[in-house]
Chains A and B, each alone.
Chain A
Amino acid sequence: MIQNAWLIPVFPLIAFIILLFVGRFLKEKASYVGITALALSFILSVLVLFERIGGETSTYVIDWITFGSSTITMGYEVTPLNAMMLIVVTVVSLLVHVFSKEYMHEDDRIHVFYSYLGLFSFSMLGLVLSPNILQLFIFWELVGLCSFLLVGFWYFKPEAAAAAKKAFLTTRIGDVGLLIGLVLLFNATGSFEYGAIFSAVEAGLVNDTMITVIAICIFLGAVGKSAQFPLHVWLPDAMEGPTPVSALIHAATMVAAGVYLVGVMYPLFLASSTAMTVVAYTGAITAIFAATIALVNTDIKRILAYSTISQLGFMMLALGTGGYVAGLFHLMTHAFFKALLFLGAGSVIYAVHHRQDIREMGGLWSRMKVTSITFLIGALAIAGIPPLAGFWSKEGVLAAAWEGGDIFLFTIAVITAFMTAFYMFRLFFTAFTGKFRGDHEPHENKKLMTVPLSVLAFLAIVAGLINTPFGLGLENFLLQDVNVGYQAHGELWLAVLSIAIAVGGIALAWAMYYKGAIAKDTFTSKFPGVHKLLLNKYYMDELYAKVFVQPTVAIGRFFWELDRNIVDGIVNFVGATTRITGRSFAKRHDGQLQTYGLVSIIGGLVVVAIAFVIRGYFG
């Protein structure tokens, strides 16, 4: 079966092609095409995973391009890491496909939606299976395209159109860094293949400065894709896309690709302590920065979006402090519980007629039983309550940060973990308990929506159990053929601390938003400036508009004036002639060609004469 791993991305590609051509005749039935394709991919992924665990492997490449004496190949490769990723992507994608059948059934472009989902699944699976970093980059850009298409799915909404553009452009900035990084890498090592690159680095063929520059360039790509500070601004806006898309692309899979990239290139990062520090600090700053914004936001999807940014920062922090397994383990558990939370939010939004403000919700617990319980499970998982998935992986992240030896990073991680528990339960208590404050009485949704929630809830409970101090299954699997150094493990005190933080955060939220023991505006009234700053997301959008966008457009306008008035004027020393002849062209056809000929020949002579007059200057 593992020799057929290449079929995993091909199924959704076929679905995309089918829907592209005959989608509009299928309409709602398009969902069956997509669901079937993903089901096949999922089954195959499970088989591949088992065979990989059993020690089998498979690689295949073909020549892609030749220049000079270099040949670049493309193909696929099954490694422990990507075998794990295949499961994550196909599970979440399949469940989102099922969920969307109901969620999107009123949209008359549902077939387009499913075709995009297919293209996305193909690209994301292709990214994961890539045996070299160039191929990864190719699929990396394709998932970006799909993100653009799906964020802008409701293209007629100006906010969606703007958000789609912003998502593409912001990540593009990081992508140019990544492209430059991999071009430098190719020139330094002569290859895009992971194995060849790492051998060259290990053999000392690349000097240390170059390794650092390359690693940071590559990391820039990850910063864009995984919405790390300062390129995080696109992800909250990307919530303009349909909610299942947010769950699949902007929570579970694509945004995690940046973390995956750092994971795949880990030996390179390990070779540069500067690059590792950059990764760790970027992750830590992002984690706390986004968490603070999530504290005050009231839009259910945006809170989750900032939470995603923050959690991705956690993963980067782990990777930057040497926690290879911790970072990737958290990637996996986060994919499940964050997809759960987003689909749960989708279920709520669907039930309350597309309202997203948590202040207009409330009391959903008694009205939407399955959604509420599964959402609670997701919230407990992200908060880090044992034995749910988030507890085990967050424990790993904290352990890595502690063992990394930088107490500052560890402190930030702890504070962020506290905030996470707090804002998730602020959201939970506001939206699900108390009185319903909306105007349309909500009801629980159909099975098509609640079953995926239940499956994800199950995974959010058990997924962490594959890597606990009682059995390091995932760690042993992932470390089979990579050498990524010592992996930290949390001790008992850390577990106790981590539980205490989580319980503390939940308790504070409970006291403020459920019990009312502490007034909701206790903090906001004491620090109105800080509150305003957080509500406005630190004014990053405004800053970027002022510093980058407006000046660029102004420069463009300036050059455009220059171009019309000066460049055209100087070069076109015959410009006046042109205009005169142009005007009289209609009247006197003949004679003009001679004028042109004369002008040209004289002009030509002048230019060549100049070249020869100054030839002495060239030696």
Chain B
Amino acid sequence: MIPNLLTLLIFLPLVGALFILVTPKEYTNAIRSLAIGTSSVALILSLVIWGQFDRSISEMQFLHSVPWFDFNIVQINYSVGIDGLSMPLLVLTTIVTTLALFASLTITSRVKEFYIWSLLLLTGMLGVFVSLDMFLFFLFFELTLIPMFFIIGIWGGKEKYYAAFKFLVYTGLGSAIMFITFIVIFYLGAQASNFYYLTFNMLDLAYIFANPDNPEVLTSGVRAAVFLSLFVAFAIKLPVFPFHTWLPNAHVEAPTAASMILAGVLLKMGGYGLIRIGVGILPDQAARFAMLIAILGVINIVYGALLALVQTDLKRLVAFSSISHMGIVLLGIASFTASGMQGAIFQLVSHGFISALLFFMVGAIYERTKTRTISELGGLSKSVPILAGFMLAAAMASVGLPGLSGFVSELLAFIGIFGADASILPGAKVLGVIAGLGIILTAAYLLWAMQRTTFGQLDEKYKGLSDARPLEYIPMIGLLAFSILIGVYPNILSDVINITVIDILSKIGG
């Protein structure tokens, strides 16, 4: 029997972690090779799945479902599958993680533990994007939390404990809200089907919520409460203002590879959860609160950009740019149009590559200059022209320059927000214009940062810096290439996403 490819993919990193576990810790090169090898195989496997993925159907594919726990009445299933929403994120995860592992070659202390945590993290992230059972989803969600907590806490910078705990408390709070809400959804689903269905399966629950046998249970108020709870849970992860304050701390203290994964993949779980579970189970409530989501999106965009503008630490600046860019995701979702929803998914993927590249560049520069303070840098084009060139390319991608992926997501989100149905989102055009101002601010803070770091006079003490090493080219070229690929030929992505987006939106119409 050919094993299910998704199951194989999820547990492959776990197997790799086991191998590392039994490798003596002195063999650091073997450990590194094992980790990168495992992740690379996962990457290839995800590309195989991408190749086999049927772009013409909206149903879940690569389904695999086995009973897991059976508590007599309640059955928890190991149930996985993917559609056009999860497919791109799956590939994003394997790509960013593999390239982040290449970027982590500079880690020299407690190497063995680092890679074990990293591979556990990979399993967790992949699991989140393929789980169809909410219980399983929650377990994988938690599985991403703990490795990241330790990676920041052990391999982080000066204030790593504070940052790690802040990360844990905030996202842990989000998890708690999520878990309780899942239980509530489970119970409501049971009630609404007159206790015919006792299930954590997202697809079944979506069906029950849309066609309840016992509609009195699912009053409008209850639905609203459930949706808002879910929204808060995922908003912390994305993160959405005002739940964003854990992110700058976590990023500044995290080692480069962790920042890449954190911004590149972990934040995306928030956006993914919001679409898959929030919009998936309660599409009517999502549309009802579209205005709230859109306003928060615009706040994220403008507020994040304004704060990025005044940062003195380059890494914190990039962290605030992430907050700003996640606003595009909210804006796209809130438009409830095909282009907006696709823009949101594009932004999840695109920002994954671009932010990982930005964090990699900041890390590479820090490693050489030992500073992230913008005012202490300057003229890096002189001493490290190749790194400076990639830094500039990353900044331009983040600005939303056409030809790179960020532009496509912004374009789609804007087409969405300006074309939003007035009954769902009155005054959407005003929000669109304010978001447009945010885009000008984005160019302002990034170009100002470039002016003060790569341009200008070179400080004497940075004269003899070494430029990019061969192994550094792998993450740099890899991440930039994917951003260019999507930017130049977005059909490669929209081809996979479109039918799922149409399917999601068809549920709001009623």
> Which A residues fall within an 8 A CB radius of B?
63-70, 134, 137-139, 141-142, 145, 148, 152, 155-156, 158, 160-162, 164-165, 168-169, 172-173, 176-177, 179-180, 183-184, 186-187, 552-553, 555-557, 559-560, 563, 567-568, 570-572, 574-575, 577-579, 581-583, 585-586, 592, 596-597, 599-601, 603-605, 607-608, 611-612, 614-619
Q: Contact check, A186 vs B415: say whether CB atoms are below 8 A apart.
A: yes
Contacts of A607 in B (CB 8 A): 173, 177, 229, 232
Within 8 A of A (CB), among B362-417: 379, 381-382, 396, 401-403, 407-408, 411-412, 414-415
* C-alpha gap A183/B228 in the complex (Å): 31
Which residue of the partner chain, among B229, B303, B437, B454, contacts A611 with CB atoms under 8 Å? B229
Cβ of B84 to closest chain A Cβ, rounded Å = 12
Contacts of B181 in A (CB 8 A): 608
User: Does B441 have its Cβ within 8 Å of any Cβ on chain A?
Assistant: yes
Contacts of A618 in B (CB 8 A): 220-221, 223-225
User: Does B462 have its Cβ within 8 Å of any Cβ on chain A?
Assistant: no
Q: Contact check, B307 vs A63: say whether CB atoms are below 8 A apart.
A: no
User: Does B306 have its Cβ within 8 Å of any Cβ on chain A?
Assistant: yes
Q: Which of B153, B310, B448 has the most CB of A within 10 A?
A: B310
Q: Contact check, A563 vs B245: say whether CB atoms are below 8 A apart.
A: yes
Which residue of the partner chain, among A139, A158, A183, contacts B457 with CB atoms under 8 Å? A158
> Which B residues fall within an 8 A CB radius of A?
153, 161-162, 164-166, 168-170, 172-173, 175-181, 184, 219-226, 228-229, 232, 241-243, 245, 303, 306-307, 309-311, 337-339, 342, 379, 381-382, 396, 401-403, 407-408, 411-412, 414-415, 418-419, 432-433, 436-437, 439-441, 443-444, 447-448, 450-451, 454-458, 489-491, 494-495, 498, 501-502, 505
Contacts of A615 in B (CB 8 A): 219, 221-222, 224-225
Which residue of the partner chain, among A66, A180, A187, A560, contacts B433 with CB atoms under 8 Å? A180
Q: Contact check, A68 vs B382: say whether CB atoms are below 8 A apart.
A: no
Interface secondary structure of A, over-half rule: helix
Which residue of the partner chain, among A66, A173, A560, contacts B498 with CB atoms under 8 Å? A66
3 tightest Cβ-Cβ pairs between the two chains A and B: A604-B176, A68-B338, A618-B224
* C-alpha gap A173/B437 in the complex (Å): 8
Add 14 more A-B contacts to A66-B494, A156-B382, A168-B447 (CB < 8 A). Answer: A67-B501, A141-B402, A155-B379, A155-B381, A156-B456, A164-B451, A169-B443, A173-B440, A180-B414, A582-B166, A603-B173, A604-B178, A615-B225, A618-B220
Cβ of A132 to closest chain B Cβ, rounded Å = 13
Known: A65-B494, A164-B455, A615-B221. A600 touches B176 (CB 8 A): yes
Q: Contact check, B447 vs A570: say whether CB atoms are below 8 A apart.
A: no
Contacts of A165 in B (CB 8 A): 447-448, 450-451
Q: Contact check, A179 vs B491: say whether CB atoms are below 8 A apart.
A: no
Q: Contact check, A579 vs B162: say whether CB atoms are below 8 A apart.
A: yes
Q: Contact check, B153 vs A600: say whether CB atoms are below 8 A apart.
A: no
Contacts of B229 in A (CB 8 A): 607-608, 611
Which residue of the partner chain, among B153, B242, B403, B418, contacts A567 with CB atoms under 8 Å? B242
Q: Contact check, A585 vs B180: say whether CB atoms are below 8 A apart.
A: no
A–B Cβ pairs within 8 angstroms, 9 of them: A63-B491, A139-B402, A156-B456, A158-B456, A176-B439, A180-B436, A603-B173, A615-B222, A618-B221
* C-alpha gap A574/B242 in the complex (Å): 15
Q: Contact check, A155 vs B456: say whether CB atoms are below 8 A apart.
A: yes
Q: Which of A67, A68, A180 has the most CB of B within 10 A?
A: A67
Cβ of A323 to closest chain B Cβ, rounded Å = 31
Known: A156-B382, A581-B165. A552 touches B306 (CB 8 A): yes
Of all chain A residues, which has the CB nearest B175? Answer: A600
Q: Which of A137, A162, A568, A608 has the most CB of B within 10 A?
A: A608
Q: Contact check, A161 vs B169: say whether CB atoms are below 8 A apart.
A: no
Q: Contact check, A70 vs B339: say whether CB atoms are below 8 A apart.
A: yes
Q: Contact check, B245 vs A556: say whether CB atoms are below 8 A apart.
A: no
Of all chain A residues, which has the CB nearest B447? Answer: A165
Q: Contact check, A604 vs B180: say whether CB atoms are below 8 A apart.
A: yes
Cβ of B261 to closest chain A Cβ, rounded Å = 21
Cβ of A544 to closest chain B Cβ, rounded Å = 13
Q: Contact check, B225 vs A179: say whether CB atoms are below 8 A apart.
A: no
Cβ of B485 to closest chain A Cβ, rounded Å = 13
Q: Contact check, B403 vs A563: say whether CB atoms are below 8 A apart.
A: no
Q: Contact check, B491 vs A66: say whether CB atoms are below 8 A apart.
A: yes
Known: A68-B337, A187-B418, A577-B169. A619 touches B221 (CB 8 A): yes
Q: Contact check, B245 vs A568: say whether CB atoms are below 8 A apart.
A: yes
* C-alpha gap A455/B474 in the complex (Å): 47
Of all chain A residues, which has the CB nearest B166? Answer: A578
Known: A65-B494, A70-B339, A168-B447. A604 touches B228 (CB 8 A): no
Q: Contact check, A559 vs B303: say whether CB atoms are below 8 A apart.
A: yes
* C-alpha gap A55/B415 in the complex (Å): 37
Q: Contact check, A169 vs B161: say whether CB atoms are below 8 A apart.
A: no
Q: Contact check, A585 vs B161: say whether CB atoms are below 8 A apart.
A: yes
Cβ of B416 to closest chain A Cβ, rounded Å = 9
Of all chain A residues, which has the CB nearest B228? Answer: A611
* C-alpha gap A179/B490 in the complex (Å): 18
* C-alpha gap A187/B420 in the complex (Å): 10
Contacts of A172 in B (CB 8 A): 439-440, 443
Q: Contact check, A583 vs B161: say whether CB atoms are below 8 A apart.
A: yes
* C-alpha gap A160/B222 in the complex (Å): 60
Q: Contact check, B402 vs A572: say whether CB atoms are below 8 A apart.
A: no
Q: Contact check, B414 vs A179: say whether CB atoms are below 8 A apart.
A: yes
Q: Contact check, B491 vs A65: say whether CB atoms are below 8 A apart.
A: yes
Which residue of the partner chain, among B178, B402, B433, B437, contacts A138 with CB atoms under 8 Å? B402
Which residue of the partner chain, among A65, A162, A592, A604, contacts B408 with CB atoms under 8 Å? A65
Which residue of the partner chain, among A179, A560, A600, contacts B307 with CB atoms under 8 Å? A560
Contacts of A64 in B (CB 8 A): 489-491
Q: Contact check, A142 vs B457: say whether CB atoms are below 8 A apart.
A: no
Q: Contact check, B457 vs A156: say whether CB atoms are below 8 A apart.
A: yes
Q: Contact check, B168 vs A617: say whether CB atoms are below 8 A apart.
A: no
Cβ of B88 to closest chain A Cβ, rounded Å = 14
Contacts of A134 in B (CB 8 A): 411
Cβ of B225 to closest chain A Cβ, rounded Å = 4
Known: A63-B491, A64-B489, A611-B228. A556 touches B310 (CB 8 A): yes
* C-alpha gap A572/B244 in the complex (Å): 10
Contacts of B225 in A (CB 8 A): 608, 611-612, 614-615, 618
Q: Contact check, B490 vs A138: say whether CB atoms are below 8 A apart.
A: no
* C-alpha gap A284/B472 in the complex (Å): 53
Known: A67-B342, A608-B177. A553 touches B161 (CB 8 A): no
Contacts of B173 in A (CB 8 A): 574, 599-600, 603-604, 607
Q: Contact check, B501 vs A616: say whether CB atoms are below 8 A apart.
A: no
* C-alpha gap A560/B311 in the complex (Å): 8
Of all chain B residues, which has the CB nearest A69? Answer: B338
Known: A155-B454, A600-B175. A67 touches B402 (CB 8 A): no
Which residue of the partner chain, among B168, B418, B440, B441, contacts A184 with CB atoms under 8 Å? B418
